[in-house]
Every structure is written in structure tokens, then in C-alpha cells.
Amino acid sequence: MWRIYLRIFILITAVTFSLTQVLSYLTNQFYAEQIEQFSIKDANAQIFLVEQYLDNSVGQLWLSRFKNLQKKSNHSYELIPLERAKALISPRNLQRLLDRKVVVDFRSEAYFRRVDTDNSTFSGSSNQVIYVTDKEDRDPIITKIKRFQYSIIFLLLLLICGIWAHLHWRELQSLSKTANEFGSGLLSSRAKARKSAIVYPLAQCMNLMADRTQRLIDSQRELLHSVSHELRTPIARLEFGLELLKNDANNKQLEPRFTSMENDLHELNDLVSELLSLAKIEQQQALPMQSVNTAEALHQVINSLSHLLQEKEMSHSLHSETSTISGDPKLLMRALSNLLRNAAKYANQKIRISTLSNASGGVDIRIEDDGPGVPANEREHIFEPFYRLDRSRDRASGGFGLGLAIAKKAVTLHKGRIWVDQSDLGGARFTISLSSSA
């Protein structure tokens, strides 16, 4: 927010100062004569005072009266050398000054008049010029008042910019929150903005985009669910037909082919089951929340997968007292099961499981292996459906690329995070970070 605030303030200040300078320059260029004539008329009172009070005296009387003017007038009267006066006025007014006419400098709000041209007033008077300025410009009290006024204007400008930036920052934060929620899978999230807000058109565009995206994703989910469901029937028929064919055929040479066909059908069945699981999770909006001890859930998952883990060297550090969260136990166990299956599949020998408290008061669950690991440039992609790595983690080792996608969906529904990095065992380390309340 402070960056936006400073940018706005600097921009407004710079624009205001620049406009002031430009307007002043243009005014001086196009209306110089009119302003000068107005200034001369405005100074008539002072000119009349000088002419009536000073011009009727000479010598010491003139100087005495001039000192009285200096003391009693609201303006500042000075005697300055002619050469200095020439430097203060524009060249086009030089002849007026030499002819003893009044010269007004409207930029400095001062005027000049030569004392005389023949030294008749006092010795050297022809080389002296009466210089009259506004005394307020030199009065310390007036200067303090003006500084105070400018300070108030500056503070008001700061306040106005601050209020403006704060209002727009809140609106931008609201849009950012909506975008993050939508990006994390909460497809019903929509931007809310007042019609009078500057970001209202942007919010409307975001909502239109979100509506179209949600309709597209919903239609894809419905298609996925329908196709997966419909595949069940032909697969069941194929299994039944294959079983009948096996019973009728006594040819031993056909048994390997029958076995291969059975494996393909089992693989199709598993794929359909995974697709249905993914579709079910994606359609899930509200979770049946209850207290879940992640350490106990991990023990249950380890026991259920003992046939896969019996040849692996297992180590775990599970802390029951700091591992309780709020969530859907079945969904969490499905995510943990998929990660543990993944570790069992690719670990060379070692698997390590641990839980520890995180900064949000929840729990981090880590599942590590000593397998080939995941390249850094592919760590974000492995949670996408049907994504496989190019190396050893391919169809040859089983799976359809849906297990990690299902785990990510399950964790996201719990408002948690899942990521993979390098383990000190040499392989992959998957981490699930959950807050105490989803």
C-alpha cells in the first residue's frame, strides 16, 4: 500500500508543481502587458504618495521623508543603485526606468522609480532608484504564517492522497483475494465492488471470466463423471465375456493371452475408479469436518499398505499430541495413502514419514524416499492429472498419473498446501501443510 501511496503522492505533487509553473509561464507570455498595466494601476496609491510626499522636497528633507515612509508604510521602501535596478528589470522596461517612469515587475510584485535624472534632489540622486516591495515578504511573522499555510496544504494533500490510496488499496486487495480464491479451486468466488468504484469494470470482467471458466470446468467434470460411470458397464461385460471364453477354451496356448486381457481389464477398472474418485472430489463443496489425528491416520494408512511396504526400510516420527486438525478423515487418508503408495513405488529401499507443528498451529506431514526424486522444473506439474515424468516414473511402473492429482485436490479442499522438493535421503520429499481448522 505504501508504494502505491508514495507513487500517487509524488505524481500529484509533481503534476501540480509542473502545471503551476507552466500556467505561470504561459500567463507571463500571453498576458504580460495586461498584467503589468493592472499592476501599475494597483500601485497608483503608492505612486501618488511618492510623487506628492517626496517630489516636493530636496536634500535632507527628501531623505528624512523617505525614512518616514520606510517606518510608517505597509510597504518596504529602499534606495538601490541604478545598476542594480537595471539587473532586476526586463530589458524592455529599461528605457522607462531611465526616463523616470514607474516600472512594475509583476513577478516579484515590486516597482521601481528613478529619483531624478539631474542630481537635483540630493548628491548622486540620479544614480539612485526607489525600490518598493511588499513588506509581508520580509516580515518574519508573515513568513511564519505563510509557512504554516503551506504546511497545512501539504498535510491536507497527504491526507487526501492517503484516503484515496487506502480506498483503492482495499478494492485491489478484494480483487486479489477473489483471484487467489478462484485460482485455488473455489470456483464460486466472485469479485464484489461498488458501481462507483474505479475497479468496478475490472471486477465485472473478472466475474464474467470466472462464470465462463466455471461453466467450462463444470461441464468437463460432468463429462468426466458421466464417461467414467458409463465405462463401468462395458468393462463388466468384457470381464464376463472373457470369463466365459476361458471356461469354453481348453487351449493352453491361449492362457497367456487371456491373462494379458484380464490385466488390461483390471487396469481399465482401476483407471475408471481413479477417474470417479477425482470427479467426486472435484464436485465436493463442503467437507464433513471432524477432529482428525494425523499421526493415527498415518498409522492406519501404513497398516493398510503393509503388503507394499514390507520390503522397504521404514522410519517414522509421528507426534500424536501435536497432530490433531479439523478435516475429513476419509479424504485425508486417501491423500496420505496416495503419497505413501507413490513412495513405496519409487523408493529404492528407504521411506521416512514425519509430522511436526507448523507456524499456523496446524501440522506438516512429510513423506520421503530415496528414489530418483523429481526434477525441479517438473515439481509443479506432477500434481496435474495424467502427468508423468520422462524417466523411471512412467506407465511401466504402474499408475495413471491421477494419484498425486487426487492428493492435491483433497489437500486443497482442506485449505492446505502440498509440494515436493529434494529429500536428504536422495529422493523426493512430499510435504502436506494443514492448518488446525480447515
CATH 1.10.287.130, applies to 200-283: yes
Q: What is the pLDDT of residue 437?
A: 67
Cell of 337: 495413502
CATH of domain 290-434: 3.30.565.10
Residues of the chain with CATH 1.10.287.130: 200-283
Report the run of H or E that residue 327 belongs to, with start and end.
strand 324-327
CA-CA distance, 145 to 142, in Å (whole number)? 5
Q: Which residues of the chain have pLDDT under 70?
A: 1-6, 8, 28-29, 32-33, 35-47, 49, 106-107, 135-139, 142, 224-225, 228-229, 248-251, 253, 267, 270, 279, 282-286, 320-322, 390-400, 437-438
User: How big is the chain, counted in residues?
Assistant: 438
Q: Give the SS3 label for residue 283.
A: helix
Q: What is the pLDDT of residue 320?
A: 66
DSSP 265-299: HHHHHHHHHHHHHHHHHHH--S---EEEEHHHHHH
Q: pLDDT of 191-250, one tens digit each? A: 888 887 778 888 889 889 988 888 887 777 777 667 766 777 777 777 777 777 777 666
| Cβ atoms of 193 and 165 closer than 8 Å | no
**Would you tell me the crossing angle of helices 44-53 and 59-72 to the nearest 10 degrees?**
150
Q: How many CB atoms lie within 10 A of CB 126?
A: 18
Residues of the chain with CATH 3.30.565.10: 290-434
CA-CA distance, 9 to 162, in Å (whole number)? 8
Alpha-helix residue ranges (DSSP H) falling in 284-414? 294-304, 306-309, 329-346, 403-413
| Cβ atoms of 238 and 265 closer than 8 Å | yes
Q: What is the pLDDT of residue 36?
A: 65
CA-CA distance, 404 to 430, in Å (whole number)? 10
